[in-house]
């Protein structure tokens, strides 16, 4: 289940600072925005196929980064 929430400007500031602290640039900022927004929302987990980028951005307070199998084992 997911919840759509507005993003406070502090989330953008924190995401940019996290990228700067780790000397990361470009599209990784969007991953940082997702992760920091999940932290601020109190998420328990963040599911992504892009595990390496999220793992390098994770902080001790980050939600659990869940990387499903690719392709997912889903039967419809």
Over residues 12-19, the mean pLDDT reads 96
Across the chain, mean pLDDT equals 90
Nearest to 39, CA basis, from 71, 63, 14, 19: 63
66 forms beta bridges with 47
Residues 30 and 53: beta-carbon distance below 8 Å: no
Give the chain's domain count: 1
Q: What's the pLDDT band for 73 if we cut at 50, 70, 90?
A: confident
pTM: predicted TM-score of the whole model, two decimal places? 0.84
Residue 75 domain-assigned (yes or no):
no
Does residue 73 belong to any structural domain of this protein?
Answer: no
The reported pLDDT for the residue numbered 72 is 67
* 4 within some domain: no
Q: Is residue 15 part of a domain?
A: yes
The parent domain of residue 36 ranges over: 9-66
């Amino acid at each position: 289940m997911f919840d759509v929430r507005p993003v406070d400007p502090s989330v953008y500031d924190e995401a940019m600072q996290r990228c700067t602290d780790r000397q990361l640039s470009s599209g990784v900022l969007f991953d940082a925005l997702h992760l920091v927004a999940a932290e601020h929302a109190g998420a328990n987990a963040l599911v992504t196929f892009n595990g390496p980028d999220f793992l390098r951005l994770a902080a001790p307070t980050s939600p659990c980064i869940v990387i499903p199998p690719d392709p997912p084992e889903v039967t419809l």
